Amino acid sequence: MADNAATAKDLPTVVPEGATGVLVLADGSVIWGHGIGAHGSTVGEICFNTSITGYQEILTDPSYAGQIINFTFPHIGNVGTNLEDNESTTPAARGLILRAEITNPSNWRARKNLDEWLKSRNLIGVAGVDTRSLTRRIRDCGAPIGVICNAMKSDSPDIDAHFSGKFTLNALLNSAKNWPGLAGMDLAKEVTCNQPYNWDETLWKLHDGFNTQNATTRHVVALDFGAKRNILRCLSSAGCKVTVLPATATAEDVLSYQPNGIFLSNGPGDPAATGEYAVPVIRQLIKFGIPMFGICLGHQLLARALGADTKKMHLGHRGANHPVKDVATGQVEITSQNHGFVVDESTLPNGVETSHISLFDGSLEGIRCTDGRPIFSVQYHPEASPGPQDSHHLFDRFIDMIDKANA
In angstroms, rounded to a whole number, what is the distance separating the alpha carbons of residues 8 and 391?
46
**310 and 376 Cβ atoms separated by less than 8 Å:** no
**342 and 379 Cβ atoms separated by less than 8 Å:** yes
Residue 266 CA neighbour count, 13 Å, CB half: 27
Active-site annotation holds for 190 = no
What sign does the dihedral 176-178-184-187 (CA atoms) show?
negative
Helices 297-306, 271-286: inter-axial angle, 10-degree rounding: 60
In angstroms, rounded to a whole number, what is the distance separating the alpha carbons of residues 324 and 334?
6
Active-site annotation holds for 276 = no
Closest Cα partner for 100 from 56, 66, 61, 132? 132
Active-site option among 296, 299, 333, 365: 296
**64 and 88 Cβ atoms separated by less than 8 Å:** no
| β-bridge partners, 99 | none
**292 and 260 Cβ atoms separated by less than 8 Å:** no
* Parallel, antiparallel or unpaired: strands 241-246 and 219-224: parallel
Active-site annotation holds for 299 = no
In angstroms, rounded to a whole number, what is the distance separating the alpha carbons of residues 310 and 291?
23
Active-site option among 45, 333, 365, 383: 383
Closest Cα partner for 189 from 259, 285, 121, 92? 92
CA 63 to chain CA centroid, Å, is 3
In angstroms, rounded to a whole number, what is the distance separating the alpha carbons of residues 130 and 377?
37
Q: What residue spans of 37-83 are helical by DSSP H?
A: 55-59
CA 266 to chain CA centroid, Å, is 8
What residues are annotated to the active site? 296, 381, 383
